């Protein structure tokens, strides 16, 4: 699978998910309390101010998410504000927030034809099924994997079934005071 151009002048697709220590991104009942409060304190860790978080989030041009993640996000309260968001689905949906668009079809066309001309900093925010398809198609330029200090025991596996073996390049590691660790990887060079 040849990787479409994502760096330099063009768009970049960042896959971001939070995983438990044992590799799950959701509990069987979808509850997310394990994400909210880690209960862990790592004194040497970094902290990030609300202003820094806001500036970081402001730099994201567009979110892409699978329909099951969309359903869950609606239940919890829409977290993406007015930033454009594309929900990948084969179903018909009732009218949504103005910033939300539904997309059905080829994912490479979505990224290269629909999103790339409009957005540079594109964030794929789950779930497992959609992330796996993006990885299989070589559409991800960066993986940001946040590890939460918790074992869940069961749930939805990160990336579902494993895609083919592929070596990624570690670019950065940040450990936070609350025990979360963020690992950033860039895509293998084709
Ligand atoms: N821990 C985290 O960071 C994190 C992040 C995101 C989500 N989550 C959790 O993950 C769970 C959802 O993940 P999931 O893997 O079950 O589902 P998902 O990836 O969010 O959504 C799957 C749906 O996306 C659509 N889809 C996927 N690939 C497609 C394609 N190639 N073409 C057309 N449509 C496609 C289909 O929608 P239709 O069925 O509508 O056709 C499919 O059923 C939720 O519990 C959510 O809370 C956790």
Tokens matching residue 129:
């099924």
Residue 83 CB burial class (10 angstroms; 0-12, 13-18, ≥19): middle
Do residues 167 and 188 lie in contact, with contact meaning Cβ atoms separated by under 8 Å?
Answer: yes
Tell me, using a 6 A CB cutoff, whether residue 128 lines ligand 1. Answer: yes
CA-nearest of 108, 70, 107, 102 to 86 is 102
Q: Kindly report, residue by residue over 65-114, the tens digit of the pLDDT.
A: 999 999 999 999 999 999 999 999 999 999 899 999 999 999 999 999 99
pTM: 0.94
In percent, the amount of the chain with pLDDT more than 70 equals: 94
Tell me, using a 6 A CB cutoff, whether residue 66 lines ligand 1. Answer: yes
pLDDT at 9 over 70: no
Task: Taking residues 28-56, report their average pLDDT.
Answer: 90
The three-class DSSP label of residue 79 is coil
pLDDT at 6 over 70: no
Task: Please state the atom number of ligand 1 nearest to the C-alpha of residue 90.
Answer: 41
Residue with tokens 């670019």: 171
Rounded Cα distance, 40 and 85, in Å? 32
Ligand 1, residues 36, 68, 136: which to mutate, most atoms within 8 A of Cβ? 68
CA-nearest of 29, 14, 53 to 156 is 29
Q: What is the dihedral of CA 110, 71, 78, 90, to 10 degrees?
A: 20
């Amino acid at each position: 699978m040849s990787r479409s151009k994502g760096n330099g002048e063009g768009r970049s697709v960042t896959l971001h998910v939070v995983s438990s220590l044992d590799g799950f991104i959701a509990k069987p009942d979808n509850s997310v309390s394990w994400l909210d409060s880690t209960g862990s304190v790592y004194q040497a860790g970094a902290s990030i101010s609300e202003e820094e978080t806001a500036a970081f989030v402001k730099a994201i041009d567009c979110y892409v998410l699978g329909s099951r993640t969309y359903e869950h996000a609606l239940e919890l309260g829409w977290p993406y504000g007015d930033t454009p968001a594309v929900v990948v689905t084969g179903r018909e949906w009732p009218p949504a927030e103005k910033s939300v668009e539904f997309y059905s079809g080829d994912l490479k066309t979505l990224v290269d034809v629909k999103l790339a001309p409009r957005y540079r900093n594109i964030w794929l925010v789950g779930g497992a099924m959609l992330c796996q398809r993006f990885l299989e198609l070589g559409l991800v330029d960066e993986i940001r994997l946040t590890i939460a200090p918790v074992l869940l025991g069961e749930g939805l596996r990160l990336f579902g079934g494993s895609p083919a073996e592929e070596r990624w390049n570690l670019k950065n590691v940040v450990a936070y005071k609350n025990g979360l660790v963020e690992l950033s990887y860039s895509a293998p060079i084709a």
